[in-house]
Amino acid sequence: MTNARTRVFLLAFGGVLVLFDAFLWFRGQYRLAFPLLAFLLTLPALIAFEWRRSGARELAAIAVMTGISVIGRVIFAPLPGFKPVSAVVILTGLSFGPLAGFITGAATALLSNFFFGQGPWTAFQMLAWGTVGLLAGLFSRTRLRKNPVVLGLLGVIGGVLFSALTDLWTTVAATGTLLPAAYLTFLISGLPFTVLYAVSNVLFLVILTRPILRKTDRLKQKYGLFT
């Protein structure tokens, strides 16, 4: 779907950023190196999404799922830590596949931060939610996709991953280095939130899995999406 010039541009852009990030690591400039690394880890998925040949219908379906999770984050904004985003992203991954899951997670973080404020943390949130969607997508073609144990595990992993990555940013931003002791302290002091993330993910999955998967499966069958 993309022309040669765009490919060359994207590869060159990614390459320059990788070199710059390596240089920053080498110089100990972790405050910029970490967010840049998080962005660089989301970049391959974004590029894969561009290069994948898929139609307008798939794009529209992913856009609806993104819209749902953005609205979920905005509606539940007054309750800190209690958000349906991971659950919706996981369900998107389970029904539409790993790439769609990643893109939904990353797009949700980017879009919803237009309401909550953009910053270096956006890169970490994109990576965290994207990875959760990707992991869920790995089960999309297996019999395990409706397995309650797998769903529960995905919810817990989602909560832990989100905590771990956002705390990584907090540690690096606050201390300028990655002191294991400081990171550990942040992880421990953020434990209530991690538990809250995980519990709310599982809770939302319990409520949403059956209705959402029924709708997305029907859509896939009716329109022949993501085959």
- Residues contributing to the site for another protein (CB under 8 A): 1-2, 6, 9-10, 13, 23-24, 27, 29, 31-32, 35, 46-47, 49-50, 55-57, 59-64, 66-68, 70-71, 103, 107, 110-111, 114, 117-120, 173-176, 179, 181-182, 185, 211-212, 215-216, 219, 223
- Cβ closest to another protein, residue 60 vs residue 153: 60
Q: How far is the CB of 149 from another protein (least distance, A)?
A: 25
- Cβ closest to another protein, residue 164 vs residue 220: 220
Q: How far is the CB of 180 from another protein (least distance, A)?
A: 11
Q: How far is the CB of 64 from another protein (least distance, A)?
A: 5
Q: How far is the CB of 132 from another protein (least distance, A)?
A: 18
Q: How far is the CB of 155 from another protein (least distance, A)?
A: 20
- Cβ closest to another protein, residue 103 vs residue 165: 103
Asked whether 36 and 122 are in contact (CB, 8 A), the reply is no
- Cβ closest to another protein, residue 109 vs residue 157: 109
- Cβ closest to another protein, residue 7 vs residue 146: 7
